[in-house]
Structure 1
Amino acid sequence: MTKNKTLLGALTLFAALSLTPHTPLHADELAVPVGSQADRSQADYPRAGMSTASVRARWGEPQSVRGPVGEPPISQWRYPGFTVYFERDRVIHTVLDRSH
């Protein structure tokens, strides 16, 4: 009896899905004006591969530190205007705050 209900439910779902008109999927597009994009080559921010010691020596103590979490251990250091992400003791990425 349960098998029959399951089969009937599956067939009903299949029939309903096959009879509905197919609509294409849509995605929103995010446009960032060129004038508001940061020119990272001209900016003075921590670069990938820098050590925690070199970041601390250049930019000082961070406002806050989160982590490390996970494996490999990932940490983030917040500075005014940007956040630096580390894997173990090396920079993997720097993210600018929205206001900059």
Structure 2
Amino acid sequence: MIVLLAVAGAWSPTAHADNLLVNRVQQEQGMDLPARGMSMDQVEKKYGAPQRKLSPRGGDTAKHPVINRWDYSNFIVYFEKSHVVHAVLNTPAGNNTNPASVN
């Protein structure tokens, strides 16, 4: 019975999602993505102009700093104020495909 449960757990949607996340992280590590701390000017100089710059969000309190998002064809860059805090592959997961629909 324990073996059956272990096998069933290996094929669960959660296990599949974990594998996808691991694969995504490994792929990101092999790419030349903007590094944490780079300024907006440095990112634009190295990677060119983004395809789209979304409207800034947040900034209403010190606990909610202004967050900017720039979309490139292969990756997305998130800035806190004017410095990179994270860069991720642009995949059709989550809200990466249509951020305008998110309030």
TM class, shorter-length: 0.5 to 0.7
Per the TM alignment, residue 35 of structure 1 is displaced from its structure 2 partner at its CA by 8.4
**Per the alignment, do residues 33 and 92 of structure 1 end up closer, same or farther by CA in structure 2, a change over 3 Å counting?**
closer
Using the aligned pairs only, state the percent identity. 33
Structure that is richer in strand per residue:
1
How many residue pairs were aligned? 73
Q: 1:80 aligns with which of 73, 76, 79?
A: 73
Cα distance in 2 between the residues matched to 1:64 and 1:56 = 12
1:32 aligns with 2:30: no
Per the TM alignment, residue 28 of structure 1 is displaced from its structure 2 partner at its CA by 5.0
Alpha-carbon RMSD: 2.5
Residues 33-71 of structure 1: per-residue CA shift (max 9 Å, x gap): 588433433310101111000000000100000121112
Q: What residue number does 2:6 align with?
A: none
Q: What residue number does 1:52 align with?
A: 40
The answer on whether the counterparts of 2:69 and 2:79 sit within 8 Å (CA) in structure 1 is yes
**TM-score, length of structure 2 as denominator length:** 0.60
Unmatched 5+ stretches in structure 1: 1-26
1:90 aligns with 2:83: yes
The answer on whether the counterparts of 2:28 and 2:88 sit within 8 Å (CA) in structure 1 is no
1:61 aligns with 2:49: yes
